[in-house]
Structure 1
Amino acid sequence: MDLKVLGSMLFFPIQMIYYIVKASVLSLLPSRRKDLSQEIVLITGGGRGIGRYLAEEFAEQGAKKLILWGRTEKCLKETCEQISLRGTECHYFLCDVANREEVYKQAKVVREKVGDVTVLVNNAAVVHGKTLMESDDDALLKSQHVNTMGQFWTTKAFLPRMLELQHGHVVCINSILSQSPIPGAIDYCTSKASSLAFMESLTLGLLDCPGVGCTTVLPFHTNTDMFQGMRVRFPQLFPPLKPKTVAQRTVDAVRTNTAFLYLPWTMHALVFLKSFMPQAALEEIHKFSGSYTCMDTFKGRT
């Protein structure tokens, strides 16, 4: 065997241990938080649910301008007025992220009327809450178009300018269901798994791009209208997250340039267990913990 290859093979584990220890130590140290006073933040699905709380939190943390995208003007207008009353410049535009042409058209309007978006928050999502055989074909397509493909269009619309400026951040509000699916929301779980792969690939692809970062948020069941009707077997053990908490932690993750954020932190254990436990054991845990095993029909959108 070539000595150079042998040396690389021997050095690789040592290098990995070094970076693991380094990352662990750095995670324990207080992080310097980025100033948001010059940031122009665009939030898809910004009129309601987590999107509304995100808008409020970005405003609270000093963002320069906020832009809200969504499909329901009433909600967008209400949220925009609330943000404006706080003293933060806020604009809203009707835009269905599933429509590629509409996204590109509205992105151009945003640049002309408001300025260059420096923080893109892909929050818009839909869920129909049905099994595969109960799901309408058009509804299944809608989930994939909004939850996954919409991210392609918005990111393609705004990322190039971020790269030119060497300044920007792409955020995805994902879900722990992307890594721990449930049977009653097959459209949502599938689209969120695709969305996670998109963000993982994008995050790695931007490692050599100075000034541009990514954050993927993977929360447990959040108490919003989108999942109204969903019930957890043991709500005392597995309480739903508050949307305000998700928003606060998300903005903090942007400010600290955190790549992946699991909410609550115990979701790390779930992902770790799935990596080595037998399928039969995982099925038993799923049946016991319930995480969504008792469900009414639910559907929603943001």
Structure 2
Amino acid sequence: MAPPSPPASKPWHAHLTIDLLAYVASYTIFHPFVAWVVPLSLRAQGTPYHFTSFIVSVAYASLVTVFHLLSLVNKRLAYGPPRPVNLNDEVIVITGGAGGLGLLIAEVYGLRGASVAVLDVAAIKEAEARGINYYHCDVGDAAQVEKAADQIKRDLGTPTIIINNAGVVNGKTLLDLSPADVERNFRVNLLSHFYIIRQFLSGMMSSSTGGTIVTVSSVLGKIGAAQLSDYAAAKAGLIAMHTSLIGELRHSPNPGAKNIRTILVTPGQLATPLFGTMASPSNFVGPVVEPVEVANAIMKMVDAGEGGELSFPLYACFMDWMNVLPAAVQRAARAMSQLDTAMRNFRVERDDKPGK
């Protein structure tokens, strides 16, 4: 029998994306340290202070530095100071953690010694269950969530970190969606977040170190897309719920509410079975995001005890501006991005289970 042929390698330029260029720029020309290297180097060469090259380099370095300082101040004022995080004392609940993004996060935290509880209707393979406590639960069913929550509290203690990640995609036009499809979509993609947070928020506010709530939404919750009306509506609901929750925590009479940090994640298309074989129209501008990239960013922020927002890839960071553009410009942008035609050849590659 002939050995299997190796996978075809991609050309070098296939790995070049606008996100990669932006990442490199953020650590070079847009980084304060690097920006100040130029005027310091000019002075080392004896360049007079009044030379245009020196003045411009100092002005640019000063501008970059002020921008970074203002970003830090803005983040501190918007999301508060970091809360103390010690993984040995944290209990982490992850929905949809039997595969994809959720499983990646669960595995890493399990190996790092945290108490991890995964809620999913699909079982975790034994080889992937190291350090993970699995609870069979349909997170779209309030009764099942309550039962699982009670068991988690008995087994592991009071959860302090919630990562609401479970999700499903139907990929049908509005007329093709059955009532069962719509109900399943909203139960898993939206209602599950309410059920999970209601079970654990009080305990988190009672904790001396507070807690962290991660809401995994989608950029589609901001702009919508054809054949994703139910999915986009649920994800838009998550963004509104998350914003409202922040307001409630900020004005809550419970002093422990001030110690809760919230993280909103709005990624573009992830390279997981959730969106099947759908390909990105433009790999340079809108690359498919690898789950490990999102997992690393979420864990970095959780570990730091910070609150905030995470958007991937780069275009997702600017989608809030899409809805303030003139209608004709919006229509042209949607046509150029093939946003409303990308799902035409959608073919799901999952076993009908929730998960990212």
Which bin holds the TM-score, normalised by the shorter protein? 0.7 to 0.9
1:16 alignment counterpart: none
- Aligned counterparts of 1:110 and 1:39: Cα–Cα separation in 2: 13
Counterparts of residues 73-92 of structure 1 (less than 5 Å): 73=123, 76-78=124-126, 81-84=127-130, 89-92=131-134
- Give the partner amino acid of 2:118: L
The match for 2:92 is 41
The 3-state SS of whatever aligns with 2:227 is: helix
* C-alpha contact 1:47 1:68 (8 A) present in aligned 2: yes
Q: Residue 59 of structure 1: CA displacement?
A: 3.7
**1:14-39 per-position Cα deviation (integer Å, ceiling 9, x unaligned):** xxxxxx9975243699x978443321
Q: Which residue type is aligned with residue 44 of structure 1?
A: T
Equivalent residue number for residue 315 of structure 2: 266
Q: For residues 114-169 of structure 1, give each alpha carbon's deviation from its aligned partner in whole angstroms, at most 9, with x where no partner exists.
A: 21111011101111001100111111111011111111111001111111114111
- Structure 1 residue identity aligned to 2:276: Q
Equivalent AA in structure 2 for residue 24 of structure 1: S
Q: 2:165 aligns with which of 118, 123, 127?
A: 123
Aligned length: 272
TM-score, length basis structure 1: 0.83
Distance verdict in 2 for CA 1:119–1:23, change over 3 Å: farther
Q: Given that residues 70 and 93 in structure 1 are in contact (C-alpha distance below 8 angstroms), is that contact kept between their aligned partners in structure 2?
A: yes
Q: Partners in 2 of 1:63 and 1:174 — Cα distance? A: 27
Asked if 1:26 corresponds to 2:82, the answer is: no
Is residue 93–residue 116 contact of structure 2 (8 Å, CA) maintained in 1?
yes
Question: What displacement does 1:239 show?
Answer: 1.2
- 2:296 counterpart (240, 248, 258): 248
Matching residue of 1:67: 117
- 8 Å contact 2:285–2:315 — kept in the other structure? no
The code of the aligned residue for 1:212 comes to: I
Find out whether 1:111 has 2:153 as its counterpart. yes
User: Counterpart of 1:97 in 2: which secondary structure?
Assistant: coil
Q: Which amino acid aligns with 2:128?
A: Q
Alignment of 1:155-234 (within 5 A): 155-166=197-208, 167-207=210-250, 209-234=257-282
SS at match of 2:250: coil
- In 2, Cα distance between the equivalents of 1:72 and 1:269? 35
Q: Which structure 1 segments of 5+ residues have no match?
A: 1-19
Name the counterpart of 2:286. 238
Structure 2 residue 175 is matched with structure 1 residue 133: yes
Cα 1:291/1:58, change in 2 over 3 Å: farther
In 1, Cα distance between the equivalents of 2:286 and 2:269?
9
- 1:151 aligns to what? 193
- Does the C-alpha gap of structure 1 residues 39 and 189 become closer, same or farther in structure 2, counting only changes over 3 Å? same
Q: Which has the larger radius of gyration?
A: 2
* Aligned partners of 1:128 and 1:298 also within 8 Å: no
Equivalent position amino acid for 2:234 in 1: S
Q: CA distance change for structure 1 residues 68 and 98 in 2, over 3 Å: closer, same or farther?
A: same
Question: Do the aligned partners of 2:219 and 2:319 also contact (CA within 8 Å) in 1?
Answer: no
Instruction: Indicate the SS of the match to 2:200.
Output: helix
Task: Pick one of 123, 128, 135 that aligns with 1:93.
Answer: 135
Normalised to the residue count of structure 2, the TM-score between the two structures is: 0.71
Paired with 1:134 and 1:58, the residues of 2 have a C-alpha distance of 40
Q: Which amino acid aligns with 1:290?
A: Q
